[in-house]
Structure formats: structure tokens, C-alpha cells
A and B are shown apart, each in its own frame.
Chain A
Amino acid sequence: MSDLQTSDPVEHAHTDLVAPSQLSRGRRAFQTVVRSREASIALVLLLVIAAATVKSPSFLFNDDNWRDLLLTPSILLLLAAGQCVVIITRNVDLSVGSILGLTAYLTGRLFIDSGLPVVAVVLCGILVGALLGLVNGLLVALGRVPALVITLGTLYIYRGAVLSWAGSKRINASDLPDSFAKLGTTSILTIPILFVVAILVVVAVGYYLHTSRGGRELYAIGSDPDAAVLYGLDVRRRVVSAFVLSGALAGLAGVVYAARYGTVSAGAGTGIELQAVAAVVIGGVAIFGGSGTVWGAALGAMLLVTINRVLPIIGIPDFWQQALVGALILGAIVLDRILAQRRARVLIEARDES
């Protein structure tokens, strides 16, 4: 499409400040991938799986375990994708666990009370999630209050709504139609269908973030909100839509939760919002926005869930499992700082040498 080697009439006598890289396109892409944060998380994930498999070969080579390996992270994958978009804009959404609980219970109630077809119920779940996300987004964008506080508030409000609605009642697997319950068990080529859904969502979000103006503007807003205003970007609209997306994906995650477990109580998804934030941070998305990818967040989610399953297998005591996950999060943040500082230093040195 473009030809970089257009005729170059101007002399290149000027001092090369930061010379353009001379690598070919393929080579550059290869280097970018190999050196990326995502590649190292993927490597850790593979090592963790390998360790578990060595200890207990059935971890990988048993049909049920293979299914669990992919199925269990599906819910967190959806939440992490949404959370990633919100965190990139220098915000955070703590209400996703409550949205998940609400839509999971709603899914069950709709099957029991209305008899709507499965497709309509799924759409309802997503829509209600999006609406709750819209409330978050509007409060954050218009209230000029940090998202941390706003979504901490809505975390309790949304959870309170499920609690008062459901009380001690619960949805049971027998309440759900077979066609819906089957979603939780069906596989295509040994890949669980819910995992396929989660991956499709991640790919779609990643594609949007990378290739659309809106996606790039989300990064810009997180990188420097004031500059974004100066550039004439519609910061409010973008932030609101990030929260709507996060809400919608939490809604979808609620539906997936109902399909996966069949049993839904009012407490479904309590605390999972922190796992979503942790997954995103482990995945290399800067907590102050502006950088990171949804691929990293997805890998972070996979790693977080898998490590929780693997630690008991390789014989780490209960207490240390939590501590190890904590160490992983702290390690990721420390690594981020070090890498960011090193990158800044390298860039500044490159400038000074010229």
C-alpha cells in the first residue's frame, strides 16, 4: 500500500537524532512479538502447565482436565477483556463481579419465569450488563469522581440489588433448559464452546483496540487525559463506552456463569472483580492506563486461573497458594516498573548519544 522508499530528495546531512530502524517489516514484527510482555507471560503459562503435567500427566492428557483447563478461565477471560479496556483509559471497574452476579441470576429467572428462547436470554444478559456499565460510565464521566470510588459504590449497589431480589433462593441446573445447559458442556474439536466464545470476544476487542480510531483514542486518553482534551478527542464519550463494553462483557460473563455451573445464588461472582484487575495487571496493562494489550490481559487471566488449579497439584499448601498469587501480582507490577524505567532510560540515552 505504501512505499517507504519514495524518492528522498532532501539531504540526510542532519544529525540523526533517533534514527529510524532499518529492519524489514517481517523482522521487525518478529522482534516485537518475541520481546513483548505477552510472549513472556505465555512462556510462564506453558511452564506452569508443563510442571503440572510432569507431576501428574493426567492434568493435560485427561479429557475432563483438558476441558477444565480451557473452560474454567472463560468467565475471567471475558471480564479481563472488559477490564483491560477500562484500565487502558486510566479508570477501573470494580462492579463487574456484581454485574456478573446480577445477570447470572437474571438468566436463570428469565428461563424460569418467561420462557424466552436461549438467544433472547443471552442478549438480555448482555444488554442489562451494558446498562449497568452505562450507569458506571455516566457517573464517572459526568461526576468527575475517580472510577475507583464510583464503581466501589455500584459494586455494593448492584450486589445489594441481587441480594434483595434473590434472597436465599437459588437457580438450579434443573431450572435451565437443556439447550442452554448444554452450552456448558459442548465442545468443538475438544475445545469447549464457552472458551471459543471468550476467545472470539478477546480477538474482537483486540482487533478494535489495535485498528480503529476509537481504540487508539482509548490509549491516548489513558496516556495523558489532558493532552487528549487538547487534541480535541471526545474523552467523555470514549470513557462511557469503555464502561458500557466492560458492563456488557460482565453481563455475558454472567450468562456464561449460569451455563457453566447451572447453580446460581445471589453471591455468584463475589470478589471476581479483583481477579479481573489482577489478570489485567499481570498481563502487562499499565494500571495508570495508556499501554498494554488485551492479549496480555487474556494471558494473565489464563495464567491466574491455571496457577490456582496447578498449585494444589504440585503440592503447595493452601496458605501459600494465595501468597503465591499475591507475589505474582506484585512481581508483575515491579517488573512493569523496571521495564518502563529501562525503556525510558534507553530512549533517553539514544537521544543523548545523537
Chain B
Amino acid sequence: MTAADGSAPALELRDVAKSFGAVRALSAGSLRVRHGSIHALVGENGAGKSTLVKVVAGVHRRESGDLLLDGESVDFTSTAESKAAGVAVIYQEPTLFPDLSVTENIFMGRQLLGAGRRIDRAAMYAEAERLFTGLGVTIDPRRPALGLSIADQQIIEIAKAISLEARVLIMDEPTAALSGVEVERLFTVARRLRDEGRALVFISHRFDEVFALCDEVTVMRDGAYVDTLPVAETDVDQIVALMVGREVGDLFPKTPAEVGAPVLEVTGLTSAGVFHDVSFQVRAGEIVGLAGLVGAGRSEIARAVFGVDGYQTGEVTLNGTAIPKRNPRAAIRAGMAFIPEDRRRQGLVIDASVSRNVAGVIRSRLARAGLLTQHAENHASGPWAGRLSVKTNALDANAATMSGGNQQKVVIAKWLATEPKLLIIDEPTRGIDVGTKAEVHRLLSELAGQGMAIMMISSELPEVLGMADRVLVVREGNLTADITRADATPENVMLAATRGREVSA
């Protein structure tokens, strides 16, 4: 409403780059958001959306490129600076102070003061009510933030942003945890803000929402800008094509293996609010890729199968024997191995030696009369570490001092020592270099060749397509596709992972 076309855009990024160590998270991020518009930002996991947002929010500093607000170049070194310049970011799960009132949450750190620099509560309540009225929502400004739904918490974050005179609002997957009614209310609020002339950036994986709400859409891929299109002139197929448009390389040397009898059978697994009626099989010698967006419930399914988390209904069997729920020890005994995503925290005793880590899970087998000797540990772990060519000088090197790739190998070695029938591996190559990646892939392929059943969770589409014999796609806790290696394409996997809910709540 305020700014006509032709004036400087509210927010503009040109070829912004940002690396973390050797990982180039953002190579050429570009974005141009006009005043009074809602701009969608879409892309696969790891396309660089979050990094781009964090550069704008002042969490990260860009290494090169331009960042302009209202045509003026800015350089934020802290979130406080970006806030002061009128940028507000609303995250998927807002952080509020649960014990304090809604109003205090809005004004914390900059409370309205009355006589003698005392806090003027009445004025703050009135201002909060005015903000809520302006947003068209009804929330008691006096109630504590405790117990508010995610949707209401987001509204409070938005109210805070408005009271800070934010001109650019970035919403990072705000609808992921909202119900249908709540999404509608958020959209109403977003449209109001747009009509006031503010610029909004809306990050979402749900294309139906992008098309319902946004004016323009920018697609990112592999840390770089791909294209910007007016929403009215495009469709889902075109956007998906832009998101995935790359060839699967030869990085993934999956050798054909003989697929045998089913090893893992999961039927009707349900955990309220997490995943629903999940059924699938993994057969001997088969690598099954579990694809989907971050937060779709892939890791949760894996954790439930392994028994780390519970589930309400459903059954898990391994080679025909039922695996009790919530009992990882039973799962290990039955022949399951689980390599978690966050290996530093969940997969390794980070301050212990390589041999102690490798021997950790088979401790009870190695112990003689309840005592464990270092000799026995070294003896048992030597062949496994050697086979994985873990580059450490000695088996008693400390795991904390090793590279991410070597840590991953130690974790794999640890589980291979249990001689599992089923290996569940979550994000096998996250954060490790290309060379080690190839080694991990070669190893997985080799294990499958020896008849091990492997369930691999990966957010990297090329990895899934290159390694998996079968791709299962999870979206919002439901299995939405089961695609064989021959039929799997980036497009159909991505579509299954992102297509809006058919039956909207």
C-alpha cells in the first residue's frame, strides 16, 4: 500500500555467501522482497534457506555479497542490530518466558516506564490489547505465557515484532505445528501486515500454503538462488522441478545385492502426534531409504522401531520375532543396530578411547567374570576399526580428537561389532567430507551385499536416490510413497515429501 513498484525493495540480498568451516552453506543467496508483499522462500533441506534467514537476522555474518534494507546496505553483527533496523524473525517454536505474562513477554527489556522510571503496567496492558486488536486476535494480555499454543505464541512474537516497528517479518516454517484453523488465523494476520505495507518472507514446505498466501516465490537449491516467480504464473510442478533440478552423480557406488527374505517388518506403528499407521518391510540385502523433510517424523519412526521411544499401537518384528517396545536392549539382542544422527551426543562416549567405544555394546560378551580388561577390548575392536580404516594412531586415541568422518566410522564399527541383522542409520554422511562420504557409502553397499538389511534415513536426495533399493517417503508422520529404485526420481520423491495435506484438518 505504501510503496509503489519501482521504489527500493524492503529487503534485498545479492549473491550472499556464508561457509561453516569447509561446508559452504550459502554460495549465492539472492532475494528481493517488495514492500507490501508476502514472499515465499522454498527449497530442499539444506538448500540454504535457514542460513540466509540467519544472515538477515544477524545471527551469522555474510562473507560476501550485498544485504540491503530499503536500498541501504547494512551489516548486522548481532540480532539486536537487525531488530533495531526493523527486521523480525518468527521461528517455528518461539521462545517465550513461561512464567511471565503475555504483556511482559512482548515488552521485556523495553517496558513502558511511568513516573520515576517505574514500569507502567496499565499502559503496557493497554498497548498489548491495542496490538492484539490490530492483529484481530483475542488474547488476555494478563495471562502467563505458560500453556499458550504454538499458534498463540507466534502471535505474541508477531505482536512483539510490530511493537518494535518491524518492517520486514520473516516467518521460518511457522505453520509446521499449527492446526488448520490456526493456519487460517495466521494467514489473516499476515495479510493484514502486508496490507499495512510491511514485507513478509514466508518459508514453508507446503505448496498449498505458498499458493494460498504468497505473491511471489523464490526457489533456492544447494545454497544458491535459482529463480523468482510470481505465484500467479507458476504451479507446483514447475517449482518442484526448480527445487530438485540436478542430476544424480556417480558418487554412490551401490552394488546390486541379492534381496532375500524380510528381516524387519513394521505394521501399523502409531504414536499420537508423531507418526500414524506406519507399515513397511526391510529385506535382507536391501537398503531402504527413508526420505522426507526435516521434522517429517523419519528419525522418530526409527527411534520407535529401535525402542528408544514408545508408541501406542503397532508391531515391530525382526526375522519373525516380535520386538518389545521401549526396550533397546532387547532390540540389540535381537540383532538391531541403530546409528543416530547426532553421533557426538548419542552415538559416542566422546571422552573415551576408540577401543572402549567399539567394545561398548558388546561389553557383556567380552567380560570375564564381570571384569572387562583393556586387552579384551582392544582385541575385540581391532579388526573392526581396521576394516573401516579409521585413521587413528592407536585404538586408545580419544574419540573427541577425531574428525567427524572418523567419528562416524567409530560409531559404525561399534555397531558392526554386534554383528547385527538390521542396521538403522540416521543421516550417515551429515557433516563429513566427500572422500569419507564415499567410503561410508561403499561400506553400506558392501554390508548389504553380505545380506545385512539396512534402513537409511537421509535428507540428501541424491544420497537416497543413489544408495537405496527402495525409497519410502514420510510426510508429516505418514508414509506417503514407496518407490523402487528404478522408478525413483528427484521429482516424485520431492512431491511425495511436500504435497500439501490432501485432507486438511
| A6 contacts partner chain B, Cβ-Cβ < 8 Å | yes
Q: Are B143's CB and A2's CB within 8 A? A: no
Contact among A1, A10, A12, A290 for B98, CB-based, below 8 A: A290
| B140 contacts partner chain A, Cβ-Cβ < 8 Å | yes
| A212 contacts partner chain B, Cβ-Cβ < 8 Å | yes
Within 8 A of B (CB), among A23-58: none
- Residues A1 and B123 in contact in the complex (CB < 8 Å), given A10-B136, A21-B142, A220-B97: yes
Q: Are A14's CB and B119's CB within 8 A? A: no
Neighbouring A residues of B246 by C-beta, 8 Å: none
Q: Are A17's CB and B152's CB within 8 A? A: yes
Q: Are B140's CB and A18's CB within 8 A? A: yes
| A321 contacts partner chain B, Cβ-Cβ < 8 Å | no
Query: In the bound complex, how far is the Cα of B148 from the Cα of A1, in angstroms?
Result: 29
Q: Are A20's CB and B109's CB within 8 A? A: no
Instruction: Flag the segment in A111-119, A223-231, A303-311 that touches B.
Output: A223-231
Minimal Cβ-Cβ distance residue in B for A19: B138
Q: Are A213's CB and B143's CB within 8 A? A: no
Query: In the bound complex, how far is the Cα of B104 from the Cα of A224, in angstroms?
Result: 13
Q: Are B122's CB and A211's CB within 8 A? A: no
Chain A 328-354 interface mask (CB, 8 Å, partner B; 1/0) = 000000000000000110111011000
Minimal Cβ-Cβ distance residue in A for B127: A2
Q: Are B109's CB and A233's CB within 8 A? A: yes
Neighbouring A residues of B434 by C-beta, 8 Å: none
Q: Are A2's CB and B117's CB within 8 A? A: no
The prevalent SS among residues of B at the interface is loop
Contact among B100, B133, B149 for A10, CB-based, below 8 A: B133
Neighbouring A residues of B100 by C-beta, 8 Å: 216, 219-220, 223, 290
Minimal Cβ-Cβ distance residue in B for A88: B99
| A178 contacts partner chain B, Cβ-Cβ < 8 Å | no
| B466 contacts partner chain A, Cβ-Cβ < 8 Å | no
Minimum CB–CB distance from A221 to chain B (whole Å) comes to 9
Q: Are B125's CB and A213's CB within 8 A? A: no
- Residues A16 and B138 in contact in the complex (CB < 8 Å), given A216-B108, A351-B149: yes
Which of A2, A14, A15, A226 neighbours the largest number of chain B CB atoms within 10 Å of its CB?
A2
Neighbouring A residues of B120 by C-beta, 8 Å: 1-2
Query: In the bound complex, how far is the Cα of B146 from the Cα of A88, in angstroms?
Result: 17
Neighbouring B residues of A348 by C-beta, 8 Å: 147
| A8 contacts partner chain B, Cβ-Cβ < 8 Å | yes
| B450 contacts partner chain A, Cβ-Cβ < 8 Å | no
Minimal Cβ-Cβ distance residue in B for A1: B122
Minimum CB–CB distance from A238 to chain B (whole Å) comes to 11
- Residues A212 and B143 in contact in the complex (CB < 8 Å), given A14-B136, A231-B108, A351-B152: no
Within 8 A of A (CB), among B70-119: 78-80, 83, 95-100, 104, 108-109, 111, 113-114, 117-119
Q: Are A291's CB and B140's CB within 8 A? A: no
Neighbouring A residues of B141 by C-beta, 8 Å: 20
Q: Are B125's CB and A216's CB within 8 A? A: no
Contact among B95, B96, B134, B146 for A343, CB-based, below 8 A: B146
Neighbouring B residues of A8 by C-beta, 8 Å: 133
Neighbouring B residues of A210 by C-beta, 8 Å: 119
Query: In the bound complex, how far is the Cα of B93 from the Cα of A142, in angstroms?
Result: 29
| A250 contacts partner chain B, Cβ-Cβ < 8 Å | no
| A232 contacts partner chain B, Cβ-Cβ < 8 Å | yes
| B129 contacts partner chain A, Cβ-Cβ < 8 Å | yes
Minimal Cβ-Cβ distance residue in B for A346: B147
- Residues A219 and B97 in contact in the complex (CB < 8 Å), given A2-B123, A21-B140: yes
Minimum CB–CB distance from A306 to chain B (whole Å) comes to 29
| A93 contacts partner chain B, Cβ-Cβ < 8 Å | no
Query: In the bound complex, how far is the Cα of B339 from the Cα of A273, in angstroms?
Result: 47
Query: In the bound complex, how far is the Cα of B149 from the Cα of A351, in angstroms?
Result: 7
Minimum CB–CB distance from A59 to chain B (whole Å) comes to 38
Which of B97, B114, B122, B149 neighbours the largest number of chain A CB atoms within 10 Å of its CB?
B97
Within 8 A of A (CB), among B121-162: 122-123, 125-126, 129-130, 133-134, 136-144, 146-149, 152
- Residues A290 and B97 in contact in the complex (CB < 8 Å), given A231-B108, A231-B109: yes
Q: Are A223's CB and B99's CB within 8 A? A: yes
Query: In the bound complex, how far is the Cα of B100 from the Cα of A286, in angstroms?
Result: 13
Query: In the bound complex, how far is the Cα of B114 from the Cα of A15, in angstroms?
Result: 34
Q: Are A17's CB and B138's CB within 8 A? A: yes
| A4 contacts partner chain B, Cβ-Cβ < 8 Å | yes
Q: Are B109's CB and A217's CB within 8 A? A: yes
Within 8 A of B (CB), among A229-253: 230-233
Minimal Cβ-Cβ distance residue in B for A211: B118
Within 8 A of B (CB), among A61-113: none
- Residues A219 and B99 in contact in the complex (CB < 8 Å), given A4-B125, A6-B130, A14-B136: yes
Minimal Cβ-Cβ distance residue in B for A347: B147
- Residues A213 and B98 in contact in the complex (CB < 8 Å), given A20-B141, A347-B147, A351-B149: no
Minimum CB–CB distance from A226 to chain B (whole Å) comes to 6
Query: In the bound complex, how far is the Cα of B99 from the Cα of A223, in angstroms?
Result: 6
| A3 contacts partner chain B, Cβ-Cβ < 8 Å | yes
Contact among A12, A212, A228, A233 for B119, CB-based, below 8 A: A212
Q: Are B140's CB and A20's CB within 8 A? A: yes
Contact among B80, B97, B123, B138 for A18, CB-based, below 8 A: B138
Q: Are B133's CB and A351's CB within 8 A? A: no
Query: In the bound complex, how far is the Cα of B108 from the Cα of A220, in angstroms?
Result: 8
Minimum CB–CB distance from B151 to chain A (whole Å) comes to 8
Q: Are B111's CB and A216's CB within 8 A? A: yes
Contact among B99, B109, B140 for A19, CB-based, below 8 A: B140
Q: Are A224's CB and B97's CB within 8 A? A: yes
Minimum CB–CB distance from B144 to chain A (whole Å) comes to 7
Q: Are B119's CB and A213's CB within 8 A? A: yes
Minimal Cβ-Cβ distance residue in B for A345: B147
Neighbouring B residues of A230 by C-beta, 8 Å: 79, 95
Neighbouring A residues of B129 by C-beta, 8 Å: 4, 20
Neighbouring B residues of A20 by C-beta, 8 Å: 129, 138-142
Minimal Cβ-Cβ distance residue in A for B133: A10
Q: Are A347's CB and B126's CB within 8 A? A: no
Minimal Cβ-Cβ distance residue in B for A343: B146
| B185 contacts partner chain A, Cβ-Cβ < 8 Å | yes
Q: Are B148's CB and A216's CB within 8 A? A: no
Q: Are B126's CB and A2's CB within 8 A? A: yes
Neighbouring A residues of B134 by C-beta, 8 Å: 10
Contact among B78, B148, B185 for A14, CB-based, below 8 A: B185
Minimal Cβ-Cβ distance residue in B for A292: B99
Minimum CB–CB distance from B273 to chain A (whole Å) comes to 14
Query: In the bound complex, how far is the Cα of B406 from the Cα of A218, in angstroms?
Result: 44
Query: In the bound complex, how far is the Cα of B152 from the Cα of A288, in angstroms?
Result: 25
- Residues A17 and B139 in contact in the complex (CB < 8 Å), given A232-B80, A347-B147: yes
Query: In the bound complex, how far is the Cα of B142 from the Cα of A227, in angstroms?
Result: 20
Neighbouring A residues of B139 by C-beta, 8 Å: 17-18, 20
Neighbouring B residues of A224 by C-beta, 8 Å: 95-98
CB-based closest 10 A-B pairs: A347-B147, A290-B99, A223-B97, A227-B95, A2-B126, A2-B122, A223-B99, A20-B140, A291-B99, A211-B118
| 8 chain-A/chain-B pairs, Cβ below 8 angstroms | A15-B181, A18-B138, A20-B129, A21-B142, A210-B119, A211-B118, A213-B109, A223-B98
17 additional contacts, CB 8 Å, given A220-B104, A224-B98?
A: A1-B120, A4-B126, A10-B133, A10-B136, A14-B136, A16-B138, A17-B138, A18-B140, A20-B141, A21-B140, A216-B100, A216-B111, A290-B100, A347-B144, A347-B146, A347-B147, A347-B148
* Residues of chain A whose beta carbon lies under 8 Å from any beta carbon of chain B: 1-4, 6, 8, 10, 12, 14-21, 210-213, 216-217, 219-220, 222-224, 226-228, 230-233, 286, 290-291, 343-344, 346-348, 350-351
* Residues of chain B whose beta carbon lies under 8 Å from any beta carbon of chain A: 78-80, 83, 95-100, 104, 108-109, 111, 113-114, 117-120, 122-123, 125-126, 129-130, 133-134, 136-144, 146-149, 152, 181, 185
